[in-house]
Structures are given as C-alpha cells and as structure tokens.
A and B are shown apart, each in its own frame.
Chain A
Amino acid sequence: MNEAIHPLARKTVVWHLAVTSLVLILMMIFGVIMLMNQGEMISITPQWFYKIMTAHGTGMVGIAALGGTAILWYFLSKYVKLNPAILIVNFVLFLTGVSMVLIAIFVFDFSDGWTFLYPLPAQSAKMYGAAGAVFFLSGMLVLGFGFLILYMYLAARLTAVYGGLGKALGWDIIFRGKKGYGPPAAVVATAMVIITNSTALLAGATVLAASLVNIINPAVTMDPLLAKHLTYAFGHIFANCTIYMAVIAVYEVLSEYTKRPWKANKVFLIAWNCSTLFTLMIYTHHLLMDFAVPKWMLIIGQVFSYANGLPVMVVTAYGALMIVYRSRMKWDFASSLFFLSMFGWVAGAIPAIIDATIVVNHVMHNTKWVPGHFHTYMGMGVVAMIIGFMYYFNKTEGNQEHRGIDTFTIALYFVFYGTCGLFPLCRRNQCTKKMVRTPAAMGAVRPGRRSQRNLYRSGRNHLHRKIFSGLRYVGSQVPYQKNQQLAEK
C-alpha cells in the first residue's frame, strides 16, 4: 500500500503529460482554424480543412488516452508495483504511431477522418495513392498495439495482486457477500478499462488490418456494415475509456483534499461493473441510422445508452458532490478543475443520452449536436481532469522540469476554449441557426444561395432565441457558403 511511484515511471509520466500538453495546444489551434474558417475570418481549402479535421479528431482522442494513461499509472503505482518499462514502451509506440499518422495527413494528404469508415480509406488510396491510407492505418495499429501491451501487462499485475480482474472489480463482494470494501478506486477503474479497452483495441485492430489488406489486395474485401460495427466498437469504447482512466485522479485527489475516504463500497462496485458491461454494449448507438442492423440491437443501443448514464450520475458525480459537501475543502486549481470535470462529464453525457433515443437520432444523427456533446465531455470532462492532474502532479512531485509548460497550457486552454465558444456569436445572423439542423462534418462551404437566404431568414425569425442558441453553440459554427464554384460543381 501507498508505495511511491518508480522514479523512472515518474519521469515517463512527465513525458506523457508534456506530450499531452503540446499536442493539446496544437489541436486547439487546429480547432480554432476550423472555426475561423467556418466563421469566414480566414479561408482554407476544403482539402486542408478535412486534413486538419482528421488530425484534430485523431490527435484529441490520442492525447486523451495518453493523459488518462499517465493518471492511471501514477495512482495505480501506489497500490500495485508496476514495471516502468511497459509505460516507456507504450510511450515510444505512441510517438511512433502519432508520427505515422502525422506523415499520413501532412505528407500524403490523408483526410478520411479519425473514424476511417471502410471502404473510404481504400477508395482514397485508389484516387490519391496508397501511402496516406497505409501510413494512417498502420500508425493507428502501432498506437493501439502500444495500449494493448499496457493493458495486458496491467491485467497480469492485477491478477497477481488481487487474484483476477473479477476480484479487482469486487465480484466477491457483489456476488459472494464478502463484507467490507473492495480494492481502491484506482484498481477498480483499471480493471474496468482493461476489459473494455482491450475489447475495443482488438475490434480496432481487426478493422484496421482488414482495411490495410484490402488496400494492398483489393480482391480481399470485408462487409462494410461489419467494418462499421468494429470501427465504432473501437472508437466509442476507446474515447469513452479516456474518462474512466482520468477519473481516477478525481477519486484520489478529492478524497485527499477533503480528508474523507472514497471507498469502494458495494454500490460503487456495482456501478463500475455496470459501466463495464454497458460501455461494451452501447456503441450500437452510432449505428441507429443503419436500418439494416437488426432492430433489437438498435433498441439495446438506446436502452443501454440511457442506463450507462446511471453509474456516473448516481454514483460517481453524486459521490463527488457528497464528498465535497460541507468539507471545508481547499479550492485550488486542481480541486476546482476536478469538481468542474464531474459537472462536465454529466453535462456532456446528457445531450448524448438524449441523442441516443432513436426517434431523436433520426433527426439529429451526425448534426452539430454531436460535436457539441463530445466537446463538452472532452473539454470540460476529460481534459479538465488531465489539466487538474498536471497541477496536482507538479505540486506533489516537486519541481518538475515541465512546470512552465503546464502553466502555459492551463492559461492557453482557458483562453482558447472560451474563445471557441464566442466565435459563433461574433459573426453574422445565421449564428442563431440551430445546431441540430447543421451537418457535423460540413467543411468550409455550404452549397446553394437558397439555403443562404434561408439562413438569414431563419436568423431573423429566431432572433428572440438568440441567447439560447448561443448556449447551444459552444464550440461550433454554422457552415457558410463561400465557395460558390465548388458548390455548383
């Protein structure tokens, strides 16, 4: 119990955090470029817009996972002796994968988005050459392989120390009526992430490998719908798991600050087991508009997406409220961000749960509602946790080399995130256009004078709703026709 983190691992955690900060700044710049382009403050070609979009999506999910891993490793080291070599291997493979992805995008013009829906990469390979797609897909494979090694190792460690993943998830307390508390929250969360994310990575590896084979030998094909299942089983779970790793910091630090224990009681354990199961099941809410998928599977997507909100709403976020309530806790940068991040998590989950309702999804799937949700979830949830942890880490681990970078990042983050929210408000009337009506991945342009006229008209009609629409608009902007020739192709 309460072992100190291995010095080498501590150094690697610093490197994880440094890379996370730097990439985060770059990704925010990319995000702002896209917003400015949509707001007509600058003008970039659609090709560049989509390249930046691909980099932004891949990069954000990547660093959310990297930052989450740093948090997981740091706190888990207190309870389980871990070999820092594995963390280093993960870091090196991460950098290798990221470099390949960057080469794919910026050298070979890959711009198929981080969801790379089969057969899109193969189609692009036919048109623009295979190098981009091959670099991107193999880069993602390398990255995934790095995480898979990490999880396999952690699974082995938890098995050695706690007697298996089931015990780490408190099964003997839930099912066998064993009295007392389960393992520390960090261990429970790690077990959950091992199970879900390994599944995600195997699904991802399958579809990545199949896509690669298909590019090299087009005679070997795969079913596009099966590929879509695998892609979202990978993408949804992987993105979701970033917060289940990062939340470990909230458990540890809030309980330290309030001097109140945050123990894994039975309800806590049941909640985490439910999260494990639901997180594996609910990716089908990404396929609600694939009418060819069996209906029962899509209904599962809706019902369990609802249910998946319960563990965080009823146990985790509620637990944070309880632990802070009348605690005379010191509000510093870390505790404020962790508190805010619990708000961000739930506030980001609410629109997602609503959108997982099939009848709602029918008129909102792939509109700007979706980025609205995950920017709240990521920006105010995961990233708030990671930045809070950076501050905490600096404070507890002494003068780290990267203090400067951290402070810089924190300042920049708030300036950028705040400004992103303001962009839509500062340009012309059609800002009032509802984000639920606007396609998500629309690039620089929007076709047709007619829709432009309608945008204005609707802007007038909805003037009285301006304030609300501003609220809905965090981080998004209405695409706007500016490239008439292209539109009238």
Chain B
Amino acid sequence: MYQQIAMYATVFFVFLLALAFAFVYGESKRSGEYSTIQEKGYKIRKFYFLGLIAIMAFATVMTLGRLPYDSNQAEAEGLNEGKVVKVTGIQYAWEMSEETFKAGDKVQFDVTASDVTHGFGLYNENMELVAQTQAMPGYTNTVYYTFKEPGTYQILCLEYCSAGHHVMVKEIVVEPEGGASDE
C-alpha cells in the first residue's frame, strides 16, 4: 500500500512541478515589472508555504503512529502467540532457526549478522517487499510480520555486502492454514 501511495504521490507532485515550470517558461517570453512580480509572488508564496506545511504535517500525523518499531510489536505482544525466529546474515546466506510457517503465523524475526552488515528483506510471492530491517553485527533488530497469505516467500539481502550479495537469498514456505499436521 505504502509503495503505491509513494508512487502516485511522486507522479502527482512532479507533474504539478512540471506544470509550474512549463507555465513560467511560457511566460518568460513576455515582459513585466519585477517589483510588481515580486510583490505578487511573495503573496502567493505565503499560501504555497502554508500548503506545503499542511501536507507535511498531515503526512507526519498519519504515519508516525504506525512505526514498524512499535506498532507491530504491540500487536504481537498483545496477542502473545507470536513465533520467535532467530535470523543471522552471513556472507552470503541466511541462517534461520525456523523456515516453515503457516498462514496466520505472527512471527517475530530477531535479526542479526555474524560478519558484515546485511539487509533482511522479506518478499512475498509476488516479489513485493513486505518488511525489512538491517542485519547488523553486534545488534539484534526485531521486525514483526504476520503471514496472511500462504506461498513461497523470499528473504533477499538488502544491503550491499560484497561480491556474493545477489546470491544471498533464502526461500521460506508458508503453508495454508490448517493444512499442516499438528492442528
């Protein structure tokens, strides 16, 4: 969802920007008194400035309540049925304490690295990036994800970690809910 929003927001704002530049380019062939232009320009700028502030404030309010650091955590802890999986990045592989999951699993990934910095990027079956955190030597970053859909997910390295970076991929299988044996 956020990817789509980002995409359309960028296209929209760049389009507006292009319009403004095209307009001024068109008008550049005419002549006008600069002091009058300035006076009017400064007036418009006030609204433009306040408009930008409003957009930014809106975006801040809408997003700061949903930080991946705490909102998922609250959800996971509140329900208290999360699986804890230890993930270690190493040139050029992912070591995981558990590799098969069921749809509906709320998983807490405790991510670290044993050599250099890697990036833990969780991709769903459609190759959409659904969650990530950095895998740092000496630190454990915890990221939560609830597997809603079954399928084969992949973990790709999202921080350049030398010549084998691109082969640092692990597939994990998420089985359909109830399809597995132990329920």
Contact = CB atoms under 8 A, between A and B. Distances in A.
A295 B170 CA distance: 29
Contacts of A303: 60
A120 B6 contact: no
Contact of B6 (A343, A366, A436): A436
Contacts of B166: 46, 442-447, 479, 487
- Please name the 10 residue pairs, one residue from A and one from B, whose CB atoms are nearest each other, closest first: A326-B32, A441-B160, A291-B141, A436-B3, A366-B158, A322-B41, A306-B56, A292-B139, A120-B116, A362-B68
A327 B160 CA distance: 48
A365 B127 contact: no
Contacts of B121: 366, 439
B158 A439 contact: yes
Contact of B52 (A314, A351, A454): A314
Interface in A37-54: 46-47, 50
Given A292-B136, A454-B126, A327 B31 contact: yes
Interface string B6-19: 11011101100110
Contacts of B68: 291, 358-359, 362
Interface in B1-38: 2-3, 5-7, 9-11, 13-14, 17-18, 20-21, 24-25, 27-32, 34, 37-38
Contacts of A346: 17
A130 interface: no
A128 B11 CA distance: 44
A111 interface: yes
B158 A437 contact: no
Interface stretch (B81-89, B97-105, B149-157): B149-157
B45 interface: yes
A366 B27 contact: no
A363 B129 contact: yes
A388 to B, nearest CB: 15
26 contacts: A50-B163, A124-B162, A225-B136, A228-B136, A295-B69, A318-B48, A321-B21, A322-B41, A325-B28, A325-B41, A327-B28, A327-B32, A331-B28, A347-B14, A350-B17, A354-B10, A358-B69, A360-B6, A363-B3, A364-B3, A365-B158, A366-B132, A437-B128, A451-B154, A479-B166, A489-B164
Interface of A: 46-47, 50, 111-113, 115, 117, 119-120, 123-124, 223-225, 228, 260, 289-292, 295, 298-299, 302-303, 306-307, 309-310, 313-314, 318, 321-329, 331, 339, 342-343, 346-347, 350-351, 354-355, 357-360, 362-367, 369, 433-434, 436-437, 439-448, 450-451, 454-455, 458, 468, 471-472, 479, 486-487, 489
A328 B141 contact: no
A437 B3 contact: yes
Contacts of A472: 7, 10-11
Contacts of A364: 2-3, 6, 129
A314 to B, nearest CB: 5
A460 to B, nearest CB: 12
Contact of A363 (B130, B139, B141): B130
Interface in B83-121: 91-92, 115-117, 119, 121
A369 B131 CA distance: 16
B133 A437 contact: no
Given A123-B115, A224-B117, A292-B141, 14 more contacts: A112-B162, A295-B69, A306-B59, A309-B52, A314-B52, A322-B41, A325-B24, A343-B18, A343-B21, A365-B158, A366-B121, A454-B127, A472-B10, A487-B167
A207 B13 CA distance: 37
Contacts, number: 245
A315 B1 CA distance: 33
Given A292-B141, A357-B59, A443-B165, A322 B66 contact: no
B169 to A, nearest CB: 5
B79 interface: no
Contacts of B45: 314, 318
Nearest to B136: A224
A326 B31 contact: yes
Nearest to B137: A224
B6 to A, nearest CB: 5
A439 B157 contact: yes
A291 B154 CA distance: 21
Contact residues on B (Cβ < 8 Å of other chain), bracket: 35 or more
B174 interface: no
Contacts of A309: 52
Nearest to A485: B167
A214 to B, nearest CB: 12
B180 interface: no
A454 B125 contact: yes
Most buried by A among B9, B92, B116: B116
B103 to A, nearest CB: 18
Given A291-B69, A325-B24, A302 B64 contact: yes
A322 B37 contact: yes
Contacts of A450: 152, 171
B132 A362 contact: yes
A192 B125 CA distance: 47
Contact of B17 (A46, A343, A445, A468): A343
A362 B158 CA distance: 12
A61 B77 CA distance: 44
Nearest to B68: A362
A85 to B, nearest CB: 39
B163 A369 contact: no
B143 A291 contact: yes
Contacts of B48: 314, 318
A441 B154 CA distance: 17
B178 interface: no
